[in-house]
Chain A
Amino acid sequence: MNTIDCETVLMAAMSVADGSPAEIETARIEAHLAQCGNCRSELEALGGLAKLLDAQKRRQSDEQLWSTIQPRLSDRAEAQPADRTLKMWAPVGLILLAYKLFEQVSDRQLALVYKLLPLLLIAAAFLFLRQNPFKINTELKLEGE
């Protein structure tokens, strides 16, 4: 028979008490509790604490923050206009890129153009779709959401 440690049992028992399924069967939890006095008393203490906490409410706040947030929105928007920065630097970048390409292609064979063409098409597609291919999505999306 597999034995399970007290902490695993307590964790599973508290999970069941919280209305969430435990990773081990209820029968095994009950069997362990029946023979372990320490676990029974600890479970009782933690259950009592949970009840005490459940009876409490979070303190409500009626503070109004808009008057302090509004001026900061304006400041930030003027100080860091992401779209405007992009619009300002994009033509410069394109001119530099075009110059570099011209410099590369002008004294070489046209074969290089064919090599660069797919790259340019991909870059154009990303620009058209407004997607950053190097962006890492850090937002967690749970299954079934």
Chain B
Amino acid sequence: MDDATAIRGCRAGDRQAFRHLVEAYQGQAIGHAVGILGNRDDARDAVQDAFIDAFQALSRFDLSRKFYPWFYVILRNRCYKLAGARTKRETESLDDPNILEPSTDAPREELLLLERALLELDPEDREIITLKHLDGLTYQELAERLQVPEGTVMSRLFHARKRLHARLTRTTSKAYEGLSNEHHRL
């Protein structure tokens, strides 16, 4: 079943047709929601709410467009609503990254430092950086996803990367300080 057929089915009252859309996009959606919210539990809640919102708004969906970019707008609204309602979490001790995929080639410490620096950013900065670098979206695609002009994408991305660089430098130097203190104690 393709997306358009599933959407037509949903519009005709077939709720099972919506299952196709949920199963096709849930993984991607959770990844994106984690990219904004920074943690998996909130991301799961936001994705569920977004799918329910999408189901109710399917009658307004333009079948000539792709489903996921349309759904993403709903998802990010849910994520920011949730992010606004939550008080800022303390950066938890990270044993396992939520945003980044642990890889066999990159050292684990490096990955965790990068993840920690990403988590210290605002959701908006984290969102644009992960969409650009982890998903490889172009400026035009970013403009569509974030519903802003391309010039704004350029400026937001630049400042987000600057802030990430500053956080990463600070996190790295803290980590080195920690390691060096441990070394002195030994």
Contacts and interface: CB of A to CB of B under 8 A. Distances in A.
Nearest to B96: A59
Determine chain B's interface SS by DSSP, over half rule. Answer: helix
Contacts of A63: 26-27, 30, 44
Interface-central residue, A57, A69, A139, A145, by most chain B CB under 10 Å: A69
Q: How large is the interface on A (under 10, 10 to 19, 20 to 34, 35 or more residues)?
A: 35 or more
A15 B136 CA distance: 14
B38 interface: no
B144 interface: yes
B22 A69 contact: yes
B129 to A, nearest CB: 7
Interface string B40-53: 10001001100110
B147 interface: yes
B154 interface: yes
A57 B154 CA distance: 22
Nearest to A15: B154
Interface string B54-94: 01100000100100001001000000000000000000000
A50 to B, nearest CB: 7
B19 A70 contact: yes
A18 B15 contact: no
Which 3 A-B pairs rank lowest in CB-CB distance, beginning with the nearest?
A: A53-B133, A61-B30, A57-B101
Interface of A: 7, 10-11, 14-15, 18-20, 23, 45-46, 49-50, 52-66, 68-70, 72-74, 76-77, 80, 82, 139-140, 142, 145
